[in-house]
Structure 1
Amino acid sequence: MRTPEEQAIGTAVIGLMRGVVYRESDETRWVALGRHAGPVRDHFAAIGVDVVIDDVEGYAYLRAREAEDGEEPLPRLVNRRALTYNVSLLLVLLRKRLAEFEATGGEGRLVLSRDQIVEMLRVFLAESTNEARVLDQAVRTIGQVRDLGFLRELRGQTDLWEVRRVLKAYVDASTMGDFDAKLTEYANAQTGSGSDD
Structure 2
Amino acid sequence: MELENTAIAAGENPQEQAFSRAAILLLKGIVSRGKDEALWQDILSNQTGLQDYFRRLGLTLIIDELDEYAYLRQEENSGLPHLVPRYPLSYNLSMLLVQLRKVLAEYDRAAGSSRVVISFEDILRRMEPFLPVQINEMKYRQSVEHLVRAAMRMGFLQKIKGKDTDYEVRPILRSFVDAQWLDDFAQRLEAYEKYGQDRHADTVAENGEGEMMDELIRDDD
Give the TM-score taking structure 1 as reference length: 0.87
- The corresponding residue for 1:31 is 41
Matched, 1:20 2:26: no
Determine which of 126, 143, 147 is the counterpart of 1:137: 143
Residue 123 of structure 1 aligns to a residue whose secondary structure is helix
Alpha-carbon shift at residue 162 of structure 1 (Å)? 0.4
Matched AA of 2:58: G
Q: How much does 1:79 deviate?
A: 5.0
How far does residue 3 in structure 1 lie from its aligned partner after superposition?
A: 1.9
Aligned residues: 187
Shift of 1:136: 1.2
Residue 171 of structure 2: which of 165, 174, 179 is its match? 165
Residue type at the aligned position of 1:28: A
Further displaced range: 56-65 or 175-184: 175-184
Q: In structure 1, what residue type is equivalent to 2:163?
A: Q
Q: What is residue 4 of structure 1 aligned with on the other side?
A: 14
Does residue 85 (structure 1) correspond to residue 91 (structure 2)? The answer is yes
In the TM superposition, structure 1's runs of 4+ consecutive aligned residues that sit over 4 Å from their partners are none
Partner of residue 54 from structure 1, selected from 54, 59, 64: 64
Structure 1 residues 178 and 126, CA gap change in structure 2 (3 angstroms): farther
- Output the amino acid matched with 1:20: I
2:201 is matched with: none
Instruction: Show the 5 A alignment for 1:155-194.
Output: 155-188=161-194, 190=197
Amino acid at match of 1:118: L
What is the aligned-residue identity percentage? 36
Question: Equivalent residue of 2:118, what SS?
Answer: strand
CA distance in 1, matches of 2:186, 2:46: 40
CA gap of 1:3–1:186, structure 2 versus 1, over 3 A, is: closer
For the residues of structure 2 that align with 1:87 and 1:50, how far apart are their CA atoms? 26
What is the aligned partner in structure 1 of residue 79 from structure 2?
A: 73
Q: Is the 8 A contact 1:95 1:168 kept in 2?
A: yes
Equivalents in 2 of 1:7, 1:186: separation in Å?
Answer: 48
Question: Gaps spanning 5+ residues in structure 1: where?
Answer: 192-197
The one of the two structures with greater contact order (alpha-carbon pairs below 8 A, sep at least 6) is: 2
Note the aligned Cα RMSD (angstroms).
1.7
2:54 counterpart letter in structure 1: F
Q: Tell me the SS of whatever aligns to 2:113.
A: coil
